[in-house]
Amino acid sequence: MAYTTVDDPTIYFNTKLYTGNGSTQSITGVNFQPDFTWIKGRTAAEYDHQLYDSVRGATKAVASNSGDAEGTESTSLTSFNSDGFSLGAFARTNSSGNNKASWNWKAGTTSGIATNGSTNITPSGYSFNQTAGFSAIAYTGTAVDGAYLPHGLGKAPELLLLKGRSLAESWQVYSAPTGNQGRGHLDNTDAFDTSRGEWYSNTPDSVNMRISNDSHVNSSGATYIAYFFTSIKGYSKIGSYKGNENADGPYTHTGFKPSFVIIKNVTQNGDRWIIHDDKRDPINGCNHRLFPDANIAESTSTTSLDFTSNGFKQRTDAGTSNTNGQTYIYMAFAESPFVSSSGVPTTAR
């Protein structure tokens, strides 16, 4: 059996850096038409993260660092294109002279989502990709406690980022490492709760995710967007590691050379979510950090980690990503698999 089904990860996920021009421009070189694009200014501290997807439609953004309801801005991300996306003059996505990072995911299947006899929420829109383990699902809340929401992945999701669109509610985060009673927030630095019922104390299966009638996830008549992810061998990995507070930090095996890693301490309040990628740091050690829970500028103060041929290694004793004994969850995507489907190994950085 082949090691991986994804020899070229850049056809499903890619980081694209660009500089804003304060007018209009098309960003190319993504390598596919994105279904989910996450943009953050690197040099402008006042600008929120902006998350767009093809299910809700261009110009409609939610901010990872805010519980605010969805906003529509006609001059923001104006279209998803065959090799990227187009922008208007909106400052958060295209301020003149400011460096920006964009992270882009491909879904693309918009019909035939799997359901079963338990499914009782019909998505208002969706796009999924089982090969890449990603889906975006829009739905309207029903206030049914323990409702069944289909996710389209064909296997159990391991990470969920969920946001109310029509109401101001904090982001809700499910992760397999923290279990079906764990709940975190993308927009703040809190530790994960360990006894919450948003997921109805049920682990998702290959068809549905259970959600409670809590207003964060399922208020009657409210609209929501849910981003589901699951690990795909050689392409993506969702997991956890323990910190040791040592510059010779823990090594985390992913089975591929990473191009993107997002990390969060789930057991201690006050530690930020952190994003690293191989475009902002093409060589080790990686010190360019952006923070999903904050609208602050990019930090370069700490060399946090190295990307290796088959994982990543902590290179700091800083508490944000390596406090002794603390548990961190992560989601990583590949630059290249450790071994291709034809048996060709990747190279180290």
pLDDT digits (tens, 9 = 90+) for 54-113: 999 999 999 999 999 999 999 999 999 999 999 999 999 999 999 999 999 999 999 999
The per-residue pLDDT for 273 is 97
Does residue 234 surpass a pLDDT of 70? yes
Q: Are 93 and 77 in contact (CB under 8 A)?
A: yes
For 166, the token pair is 């029509």
For 219, the token pair is 């208020």
Mean pLDDT across the chain: 94
CB proximity list for 117: less than 8 A, separation 6 or greater: none
Q: Are 148 and 114 in contact (CB under 8 A)?
A: no
The per-residue pLDDT for 317 is 79
The per-residue pLDDT for 241 is 97
Collapsing DSSP states into helix, strand and coil, what is residue 269? coil
Collapsing DSSP states into helix, strand and coil, what is residue 9? helix
For 83, the token pair is 């090799």
The radius of gyration of the chain's CA atoms, rounded to the nearest angstrom, is 19
The per-residue pLDDT for 316 is 86
The per-residue pLDDT for 173 is 98
Q: Phi and psi dihedrals of 320, rounded to 5?
A: -55, -35
Does residue 324 surpass a pLDDT of 80? yes
- Which pTM was predicted? 0.97
Nearest to 229 by CA among 270, 268, 173: 173
The per-residue pLDDT for 304 is 87
Does residue 1 surpass a pLDDT of 60? no
Beta pairing class for 84-87 and 77-81: antiparallel
Reported confidence tier of residue 46, pLDDT bands at 50, 70, 90:
confident
The per-residue pLDDT for 171 is 98
State the virtual CA torsion across 340, 4, 308, 249 in degrees, nearest 10: -160
For 306, the token pair is 């190295």
CB proximity list for 66: less than 8 A, separation 6 or greater: 48, 187
State the virtual CA torsion across 225, 172, 330, 179 in degrees, nearest 10: -120
CB proximity list for 115: less than 8 A, separation 6 or greater: 150, 207, 208
Q: Are 261 and 279 in contact (CB under 8 A)?
A: no
- Could you check whether the bond before residue 285 is cis, i.e. omega within 30 degrees of 0? yes
Half-sphere exposure of 231 (CA within 13 A, CB side): 18
The per-residue pLDDT for 338 is 64
For 227, the token pair is 């981003």
Alpha-carbon span 93 to 27, nearest angstrom:
11
The per-residue pLDDT for 44 is 72
CB proximity list for 248: less than 8 A, separation 6 or greater: none
- C-alpha distances in angstroms, 274 versus 4, 20, 225, 261? 27, 23, 22, 8
Alpha-carbon span 113 to 122, nearest angstrom:
10
